[in-house]
Structure 1
Amino acid sequence: MATIEDVAKLAGLSRTTVSRVINDQPYVTDEKKQRILQAMDELGYVPNSSARRLRSQRTDTIAVLLPRITNPFFGNLIESMEKKASQWGYQVIVCQTHDSKKKELDYLQLLKTKQVDGVVMTSLVNEWEVVEPYLESGPIVLCNEYMEDTPVPMIHMDHRKAAYESTLHLIDQGCTNLAYLSGGTLTHLAMERLAGFKRALKERGLPFIEEAVMDWVIQVEDGRNAFRKIKEEFPLIDGVFTGSDEVAAGIVYEASHCGWAIPDDLAVVGFDNQMLSLLMAPAVTTVEQPITKMADRTIEVLIQQLLHSSSTTPRRYIYSHKLLVRNSSEKRHSIAK
């Protein structure tokens, strides 16, 4: 976070001159004032006196950062958070980052400039060292996303374990060549799922096919394209773990239209138990997250921090998932566990 010394250096003036401008004192030319104000703007510098004044203000507003609202998981999460927040007299604003590091930091500026009282981050694309300074301006809570040794409350499911159990399920259905489809490689959560996938393969003595790992597979059309790639480049793939039900639905749709039998030719597992997973034929095996429980806990934890300015060690809340086995993965001739 920028300091008064940084402003002075960028403006090419003394710390005393900068201090005079900040405190609206005389004997500073307009030209120097403009240089200092421009430097403050470029560095995002908020004077300590201003920061103290801003911290004393309340907006009764919480910002929730998420990759994209069109993902039904995040839509349901936001809906639950908004309901819980309104019970406490708070409103929620939605900030879509589209997995952009710059956008993530731009939205965190809302906390620094006191346009919101606190922030919920459902994904994290910047390194924590870049995000941590914003804690000086207000509380931050991680929900869904998590990272070891991060000094903020974390509310999430064990994604590594969920991916591990989902992959074991595919293997127990007789799959021996598996593909992994990820929504992206930037987030810690995505890497956790990949670690669980790899662990299951290693335990069962199956190869990790690095070429069959596909990133930025997010929506239905991405799933359709992923299937075409599997069909053309990796025809021996017989099982797929995906990061969302939208992707899984795209695979099931395209595979069925190309004459592949689901799940006998290709078993598919999705994620998030979206309504779409039940509407497909066959219905998609998926991982269900306790969305409402996580959303309620997140808002409660954040508001308690706002009300009490708690300095205790941040807690970590880990919720259990459910693997809902359906027809997209359950083969008639699966091997015994």
Structure 2
Amino acid sequence: MATIEDVAKLAGLSRTTVSRVINDQPYVTDDKKQRIIDAMKTLGYVPNSSARRLRRRCTETIAVLLPRVTNPFFGKLIESLEQEASRNGYQVIVCQTHDNKQKELDYLQLLKTKQVDGVIMASLINDWQDIEPYLASGPIVLCNEYRPANGVSMIHIDHKKAAYESTAHLIHEGCEQLAYVTGGHDTFIASERKAGFLEALAENDLQFDPKLEVNWALDVNDGQKVFQYLIENHSHVDGVFTGSDEVAAGIVYAASQSKLNIPGDLAVVGFDNQMLSLLMVPAITTIEQPVEDMAAKTIEVLVEKMNDKGTNQERRFVYPHQLIVRSSTNREQILSQSAPL
């Protein structure tokens, strides 16, 4: 097995110069760098990454906190973050909080104990005042999640605006009795989405019945339960805003097993533009987030912070979203198809 001394001998340079190149240190000419790289390739020499990380006092590891990887949105986000982190020489560990406040704080201990160099929070359950002290141990960046906070950068879409546009679209399609369906977690994003929903209703002189708020729906199975709850207790509902394509898909599937027509009797909007939303019949109207762009910016900002450990300057990047209208809400299309010739 080749050693660093073998590389130095083949390159005709000192061991110290080879070590500088391996550890990406300055004051080595491009010519010498190339000679060392060529020698390493010829000998098949692979630097000891663990020892290198120890010398640099870093782990080259980033922790990503999220509720659950089974949610396709977070699955796609993790994939995009991992690819971008790898391009920057970092590996990613995934920490599922399951929306548990204590688990979230336990994972942040990884930063405090120097087991990771930085943390990306794709969700945030605790109050910011409980998170902020961890900034003294290393950089934290919020991706998808956001709230009024000091010293932390945030990358996200405008969830209030997205919910407003989705609700306004339902109203434009003729819906007057709207249900609001959420996962029920008391986060800033949840409050922003509800504010957008209520703003659209108010602008159209529509009242919201609190009994039409469902705050426990997370997945397809829950979506089916939501449908049963609505038709058994609030059959007058003609539109549903959901914060998840999974929940919307459950509603659409349950409706297909009943006599209700979607969107004729019940229009449904999802969120996140998961593949599931396109595969359902009818396909689901939804909000698309630019996940890959958000992930790239998140890694860029976090790497900058990890390389400049003396700053916690706050930066905020709000990315554009898109309302994708499909058959689950397009009542005008149904009317045009049924119109007499």
Q: Is the 2:139–2:312 Cα contact (8 Å) retained in structure 1?
A: no
Q: Does 1:220 align with 2:245?
A: no
TM-score, length basis structure 2:
0.80
Where do residues 8-47 of structure 1 align in structure 2 (5 Å cutoff)?
none
Q: Does 1:151 align with 2:151?
A: yes
Residues 114-157 of structure 1: CA deviation (Å, up to 9, x unaligned) = 11000000111100000100011000000000002432000000
Q: Is the 1:185–1:191 Cα contact (8 Å) retained in structure 2?
A: no
Q: What is residue 264 of structure 2 aligned with on the other side?
A: 264
Residue identity in the other structure for 2:244: S
Residue identity in the other structure for 1:127: D
Residue identity in the other structure for 1:181: V
Q: What is residue 105 of structure 1 aligned with on the other side?
A: 105
| Structure 1: distance between partners of 2:312 and 2:149 | 15
Q: Is the 1:167–1:201 Cα contact (8 Å) retained in structure 2?
A: yes
Residues 298-324 of structure 1: CA deviation (Å, up to 9, x unaligned) = 011001101122526311000010000
| Structure 1: distance between partners of 2:226 and 2:95 | 29
Aligned-residue RMSD, C-alpha: 1.7
Instruction: Say which SS state the counterpart of residue 176 (structure 2) adopts.
Output: coil
TM-score, length basis structure 1:
0.81
| Structure 2: distance between partners of 1:122 and 1:236 | 36
Q: What is residue 321 of structure 1 aligned with on the other side?
A: 321
Q: What is residue 255 of structure 1 aligned with on the other side?
A: 255
Q: Is the 1:245–1:272 Cα contact (8 Å) retained in structure 2?
A: yes
Q: Is the 2:264–2:334 Cα contact (8 Å) retained in structure 1?
A: no
Residue identity in the other structure for 1:303: V
Where do residues 1-337 of structure 1 align in structure 2 (5 Å cutoff)?
57-309=57-309, 311=311, 313-332=313-332
User: How far 1:333 moved relative to its partner?
Assistant: 7.5
| Structure 1: distance between partners of 2:234 and 2:284 | 22
User: How far 1:258 moved relative to its partner?
Assistant: 1.1
| Structure 2: distance between partners of 1:192 and 1:250 | 24
Instruction: Say which SS state the counterpart of residue 98 (structure 2) adopts.
Output: coil
Which of 1 and 2 has greater Rg?
2
Uncovered stretches (5+) of structure 1, i.e. residues with no partner: 1-53
Residues 12-64 of structure 1: CA deviation (Å, up to 9, x unaligned) = xxxxxxxxxxxxxxxxxxxxxxxxxxxxxxxxxxxxxxxxxx9x720000000
| Structure 1: distance between partners of 2:247 and 2:130 | 31
Q: Is the 1:217–1:223 Cα contact (8 Å) retained in structure 2?
A: yes
Q: Is the 1:173–1:333 Cα contact (8 Å) retained in structure 2?
A: no
| Structure 2: distance between partners of 1:150 and 1:277 | 36
Distance 1:150 1:212, change over 3 A: farther
| Structure 1: distance between partners of 2:184 and 2:157 | 18
| Structure 2: distance between partners of 1:331 and 1:148 | 39
| Structure 2: distance between partners of 1:117 and 1:292 | 22
| Structure 2: distance between partners of 1:73 and 1:310 | 33
The count of residues paired between Structure 1 and Structure 2 equals: 282
| Structure 1: distance between partners of 2:145 and 2:332 | 36
Uncovered stretches (5+) of structure 2, i.e. residues with no partner: 1-53, 336-341
| Structure 2: distance between partners of 1:150 and 1:133 | 11
